[in-house]
């Protein structure tokens, strides 16, 4: 007899969706799983731990979310989980936990069958009784292992960047611009900077517009629309602005940045900054790389 049924897994998933739908910006997977566990009385089987120290409960839920991702109901990005419109619609339509999870499994199976290297029929992937059995599925196991490693790596990187000395962080942004083939002509020294921290140009002589003015903020809170407008006031007609902030930007600020036509500004949060650093890592100088050294670890590409 299975220690965990498809209905039980569906109950976990539906409650997970309730938690995530209450966080429109998404939630860290570890936090969401912690909240989820607090809302159930776990059986001894679910509460048992693997040798790695991970509870079986977390593994069961993670494996079940693989189906939800391929169903188009759930998005995972650097350890942040968020529900899509399709996921909200499925949650509203399928109130029965078992039917909810069965639909996710069916959509996963259809996705799997459509892959070029698919083996077997779509129905084969639907036959598993629960997420507990799916742990033996190598494709799903690879996917879960990869996402756990990605979450841990991103947690360490984001903590490192948020704790960096503000002037070192400013220099890191300047190094990134150089790696992207921009010519940095000025970086603000310690002290008052008047709202502009870096000035760069597309050409070495600074004769070809646009001039790029950069404001860099290493802070926890998001920049609001007033903070954005203060920076925009420093931009001339031939300038473009880059606003880099580890705390991100409020929705109002993002809307304001998109709506402006004459005062053009690009907002770069922590995620985007890291993606650009990773993308241009090979073009960074050795000194620049030491500010945020990265090391690639090769994983078998998760097929599920």
Q: Reduce the DSSP state of residue 192 to 3 states and report it.
A: coil
Report the predicted TM-score, pTM, of the whole model to 2 decimal places: 0.75
CB 59 within 8 A of CB 65: no
DSSP-assigned states of every residue in 117-128: T--S-HHHHH--
> 168 and 155 in one domain?
no
Q: Which alpha helices (DSSP H) does the chain contain, by range?
A: 6-21, 29-38, 44-47, 56-70, 85-93, 97-113, 122-126, 131-134, 138-163, 166-179, 225-232, 251-259, 270-279, 286-289
Its domain, for residue 186, covers 164-289
Query: Quick one: 74 and 119 in the same domain?
Result: yes
User: 12-34: per-residue pLDDT in tens?
Assistant: 999 999 999 999 889 999 999 99
Summarised one tens digit per residue, pLDDT across range 225-268 is 999 999 999 999 889 999 999 999 999 999 999 988 777 999 99
Same domain as 226, residue 106: no
Residues 229, 133, single domain; the answer is no
Residue that is last in its domain, among 127, 161, 195:
161
- Residue where one domain finishes, among candidates 137, 161, 185: 161
Q: What is the pLDDT of residues 146-199, one digit of tens each?
A: 777 788 888 899 999 999 999 999 999 999 999 999 999 999 998 776 789 999
| pLDDT level of residue 1 (50, 70, 90 thresholds) | very low
For residues 93 and 183, state if they share a domain: no
Q: Do 153 and 202 belong to one domain?
A: no
- Tell me how far CA of residue 225 lies from CA of 19, 219, 243, 249, in angstroms: 28, 16, 12, 8
* pLDDT one-digit tens code per residue, 96-113: 999 999 999 999 999 888
The domain total for the chain is 2
pLDDT attached to residue 44 = 93
Buried b (16+ CB within 10 A) or exposed e, 43-58: eeebeeeeeeeebbbb
What is the model's pLDDT at position 123? 43
At 34-78, the pLDDT tens digits run 999 999 999 999 999 987 778 999 999 999 999 999 999 999 988
């Amino acid at each position: 007899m299975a220690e965990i049924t498809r209905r039980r897994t569906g109950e976990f998933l539906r409650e997970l969706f309730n938690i995530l739908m209450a966080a429109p910006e998404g939630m860290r997977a570890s936090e969401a799983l912690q909240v989820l566990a607090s809302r159930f009385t776990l059986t001894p089987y679910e509460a048992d731990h693997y040798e790695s120290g991970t509870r079986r409960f977390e593994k069961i839920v993670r494996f079940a979310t693989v189906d939800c991702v391929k169903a188009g109901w759930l998005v995972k990005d650097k350890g942040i989980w968020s529900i899509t419109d399709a996921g909200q619609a499925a949650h509203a339509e399928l109130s029965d936990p078992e039917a909810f999870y069965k639909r996710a499994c069916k959509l996963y199976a259809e996705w799997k069958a459509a892959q070029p290297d698919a083996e077997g029929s779509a129905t084969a992937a639907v036959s598993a009784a629960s997420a507990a059995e799916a742990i033996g599925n190598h494709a799903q196991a690879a996917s879960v292992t990869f996402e756990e490693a990605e979450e841990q790596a991103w947690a360490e990187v984001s903590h490192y960047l948020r704790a960096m000395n503000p002037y070192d962080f400013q220099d890191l942004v300047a190094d990134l611009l150089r790696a992207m083939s921009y010519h940095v002509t000025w970086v603000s020294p310690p002290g008052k900077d008047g709202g502009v921290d870096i000035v760069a140009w597309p050409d070495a002589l600074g004769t070809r517009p646009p001039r790029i003015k950069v404001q860099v903020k290493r802070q926890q809170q998001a920049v609001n629309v007033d903070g954005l407008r203060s920076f925009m006031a420093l931009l001339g007609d031939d300038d473009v602005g880059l606003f880099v902030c580890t705390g991100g930007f409020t929705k109002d600020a993002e809307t304001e940045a998109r709506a402006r036509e004459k005062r053009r500004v690009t907002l770069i949060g922590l995620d985007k900054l890291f993606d650009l650093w990773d993308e241009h890592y090979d073009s960074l100088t050795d000194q620049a790389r030491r500010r945020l050294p990265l090391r690639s670890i090769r994983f078998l590409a998760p097929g599920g």
